[in-house]
Amino acid sequence: MDDMIFRRNLLALSSRHQGLCDALSEAEADPRLRIEPARTGLPVPVLQLPGRAAAFHSLMDPGREAERLTGAQAPGGFIVAFGLGAGYAIRSFLASPKTTAVVAVEYSAPLLRALLGLLDLSEIFLDRRFTLVLDPTPEELGALVLSTYVPPVSGDIRTAPLRGRTDLTPEPFALAADTLRAILGRISDDYSVQAFFGKLWFRNAVRNLFASEGPTPPLPPVRKAIVTAAGPSLEEGLGEVAKAQRDGAFLIATDTSLPALLGHGLRPGAVVSIDCQTISYYHFLKGLPPGLPLVLDLASPNRLARISDSPRFFSSGHPFCAYVSSNYRPFPALDTSGGNVTHAALSLAEALGAETCLLVGADFSYPEGKSYARGTYIYDYFDGQASRLSPSESLFAGFVRRNASIVREVDRDGEGREYCRYVTKPLMAYKEHLERFIERSSMEIRPLRGKGVEIHTRRVGPRPARMANLFSAGPASESAASFLRRYAEGLSALPPVAGQASAYLSSLGPAERDLWTTLLPSASALLRAAGGRSGEARASCAGGASGAIGAGAADAASLLEETRAWALAELEIAMEAGESLSATRPTRGRP
């Protein structure tokens, strides 16, 4: 074992892996590891085990073995390599200019310490596309992938297991593969949403900045809250809602449930809307009572702000909205990660400091084939669309059955009577997100069960401390027009995208990367509009797998420049329009 080789490797790693270097310097090298030459003369790490010697690579031709591994996959993309070994496959991946990143995962500090004392891998370590992680927990591995993989520019993501290494300690590598599989599912879902709505988020948020300029009185703290969703069980739960409201609970309505509440004489204390699509407007066709706070995502349609005399904007997880909160005006944040407005409404109740919350109408299914409570927009909508050949009943049935993943379940009510409901994968995903929110919420949440699916309210760990804050935006640092001009100037001043897009982004300073990050959802949408991929992501420790998610590396640079040009055009349109809140909503409370 050569100390000079080890030091050379550490020096190459030290610029971006100092913590790893410290850990390896303190580790004792595994004495069982040695180097044997393959028939081609290339060095192969071999671990001496009881009764046998385990080679990390082929002892015939490890170079050809690596070529077969890399050649079996499409060139380029984001590679997660399970096992480092002598780096033959990793070198082959990095030799392609289409490869945007290689993350090598290793377990056992003594084994890695011994390996780096036997083989000079400094050439690999000096490549800025390469990252080495040692003994990562599932959370650490997930966080690393989420922070470094950029779907529109990183290309496909896939795993590359080094069998000779992973077979020695299969358990941690199998756990890593499971972790990556779960993370890729999340990335794929997020990217699919961005591909559909990224341009709308940006366009709506830019225009809403003019509507958000004025001072907004805060929503006060509350002790008890009610959140109404629009599922069919809302009809049976209206009595409970009225009683809880009389007892002093603060009623938060989702936009979908608002018409049903108003139709029964129940006025909420606030309404929440998060959908960026114009269809959100349908929920307010019967009017919005004067003075009723309308809590809007900055990315909500601008026309919703124009029909309200009391809009209250919040910042969700969209990158441009987060940038606005950091650089223009600090908007309160709500959790929209659940993907549905009920989740966001519960987040508002928690933000207001509620100790308890009654949840009504959250069925996350179609009980007895019924989609929404009576009085919601869909009844008027389908009644208007109905004809003799296509009655409203057929339209409702088609709406319920439009999802390919629909499954029929049979259950019994409290009196033993049998009934059915229909569930879908998206609705089950919403429910699971909500249950995870409940697990960590500072509130005691009581779902009112109807004929929908059961919402579990078990907790994980102690209940967090309750935070009773005023829900209000902070002061703006400048006018909306001034901020947008400054933002547009910042985008224009960004260096031209040269070479590989992922390397270009890594070379920028934090402020420049932040500006590009605001455009990534729009880039995903432009990629989809151009016929790019927004498919699934898969991972397997057993054989490596690919996920067709983002643009190819060769296309990513032009995609970024196209996105910048599109965003600057949108900003110019918004600033030329110069729409202020007072000038664009002559009528209040009614569309």
Dist CA 518 CA 248 (whole Å): 41
Whole-Å CA distances, 288 to 160, 207, 246, 499: 56, 21, 22, 52
> 411, exposed or middle or buried, with CB in 10 Å at 0-12, 13-18, 19+?
middle
Residue 545 has a pLDDT of: 44
CA dist 584 and 211 (Å) reads 9
Count other C-beta atoms under 10 Å from residue 95's C-beta: 10
Question: Strand 77-82 vs strand 407-412: parallel, antiparallel, or unpaired?
Answer: unpaired
Domains of the chain: 3-135 (3.40.50), 215-447 (no CATH)
Write the DSSP assignment of 381-401 as a string of letters.
HHHHH--SSS-HHHHHHHHHT
Confidence check: pLDDT of 582 > 50 = no
The proportion of the chain whose per-residue pLDDT surpasses 70, expressed as a percent, equals 93
CA pair distance 245, 240, nearest whole angstrom: 8
Q: What is the pLDDT of residue 470?
A: 77
Asked whether the predicted pLDDT for residue 467 surpasses 80, the reply is no
In tens, the pLDDT along 293-325 reads: 999 999 999 999 889 888 999 998 899 999 999
| Helix runs in 72-229, H state only | 88-94, 109-118, 122-126, 138-148, 151-154, 163-166, 170-211
Mapping DSSP to helix (H, G, I), strand (E, B) and coil, where does residue 516 land? helix
pLDDT given at position 489: 97
**pTM value?**
0.82
Which range, of 77-91, 199-213, 373-387, averages the lowest pLDDT?
A: 373-387
pLDDT at 532: 62
Listed residue (285, 288, 287, 311) closest to 300, CA to CA:
311
Select from 77, 72, 67 the least CA-distant residue to 556. 77
Residue 544 predicted with pLDDT over 80: no
pLDDT of 537 reads: 40
Q: What does the pLDDT average to over 258-265?
A: 95
How many angstroms separate the CA atoms of 591 and 589, rounded? 7
CA 565/CA 572 separation, integer angstroms = 11
The percent of residues above 90 in pLDDT, for the chain, comes to: 67
Pairing type for strands 444-447 and 294-297 reads unpaired
| pLDDT at residue 378, rounded to an integer | 87
Tell me the C-alpha distance between 156 and 191, whole Å.
12
Residues in CB range of 565: below 8 A, 6 or more apart = none
Query: Which tokens hold the place of 591?
Result: 């569309």
Q: Is pLDDT at 553 greater than 80 in this prediction?
A: no
At residue 162, the pLDDT reads 94
Higher local confidence (pLDDT), 272 or 215:
272
What is the Cα Rg of the chain in Å?
A: 28
Q: Label residue 535 by pLDDT band (50, 70, 90).
A: very low
Look at residues 287, 205, 239 and name the one whose alpha carbon lies nearest to residue 518: 205
Q: What is the pLDDT of residues 61-84, one digit of tens each?
A: 999 999 988 888 777 889 999 999
- pLDDT, tens digit, 9 for 90 and up, residues 284-293: 988 899 999 9
Q: List pLDDT tens digits, range 391-411.
A: 888 888 888 888 778 899 998
Q: How many residues does the chain have?
A: 591
Strand 99-106 relative to strand 366-367, pairing: unpaired
To the nearest whole number, what is the mean pLDDT of the chain?
Answer: 89
* CA distance linking residue 14 with residue 448, whole number of Å: 56
pLDDT for residue 1: 63
Q: According to the model, what pLDDT value does residue 530 have?
A: 84
Q: Per the structure block, which two tokens stand in for 579? A: 């729409």
- pLDDT at residue 581 in the model: 40
